[in-house]
Amino acid sequence: MSTERCDVAVVGGGLVGTATAYELAGLGADTVVIDEHDPGRATDAGAGILSPETTWNPEGGGFKG
């Protein structure tokens, strides 16, 4: 086990985790991303998915799909 320390540990290297780690590192935080390595697999939750069919609808006050 490593005894190295960091300011922030981001769990999950998907879209949201990677973007979060990138922004935190840009703000000067010593950041590490922890992610399980499953070649060829996406996250099961898909919470960070960006769907090309989802667009902003300013007249409707939100997103439409």
- State residue 44's pLDDT score: 62
- Sequence spans of domains, the chain: 8-37+49-64
Instruction: State the chain's maximal CA–CA distance in angstroms.
Output: 54
Q: Report residue 64's pLDDT band, with 50, 70 and 90 as the boundaries.
A: low
Residues 2-61: tens digit of each pLDDT = 788 999 999 988 878 889 999 999 999 999 999 887 666 666 666 556 666 666 667 776
Tokens at 33, concatenated: 């991303």
- What is the rounded CA–CA span in Å between residue 50 and residue 3? 36
- State residue 59's pLDDT score: 75
